[in-house]
């Protein structure tokens, strides 16, 4: 018998480097966004609303389509206590989820191994 059930897929989209997070997932109805970004803000007619507060940059249209299909989640406000002011140490913490020691394995590898040890 043929099975039509597909294995679940997890894709993590991490935009590093020069990505401007506030112009990717845009808090367009927050007056502080408008007031503090007079020259670099995305104009409202270029925003794909997610809800009444945030929206995607129009260049994220393919991601917005997946979001509308329930295949993408937006997770905001992620951080860790006592953030490091070192870019390199902060990236290490983000990749390993080890804020108090130097990690030697990434969080995604650990999660996948816990889900399926084989």
Which residues does 38 contact at the CB level (< 8 Å), separation at least 6? Answer: none
pTM of the model: 0.73
47 burial level (CB within 10 Å; 0-12, 13-18, 19+)? buried
Q: Which residue has the higher pLDDT, 105 or 14?
A: 105
Predicted local confidence at residue 1, as pLDDT: 55
Indicate the range of 12-21, 48-57, 98-107 predicted with least confidence: 12-21
């Amino acid at each position: 018998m043929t099975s039509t059930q597909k294995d679940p897929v997890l894709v993590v989209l991490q935009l590093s480097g020069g990505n401007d997070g506030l112009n990717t997932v845009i808090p367009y109805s927050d007056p502080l966004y408008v007031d503090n970004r007079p020259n670099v803000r995305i104009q409202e007619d270029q925003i794909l609303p997610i809800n009444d507060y945030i929206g995607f940059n129009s260049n994220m249209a393919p991601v917005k389509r997946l979001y509308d299909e329930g295949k993408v989640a937006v997770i905001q406000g992620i951080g860790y206590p006592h953030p490091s002011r070192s870019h390199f140490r902060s990236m290490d913490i983000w990749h390993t989820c080890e804020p108090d020691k130097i990690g030697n394995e990434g969080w995604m590898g650990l999660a996948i191994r816990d889900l399926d040890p084989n």
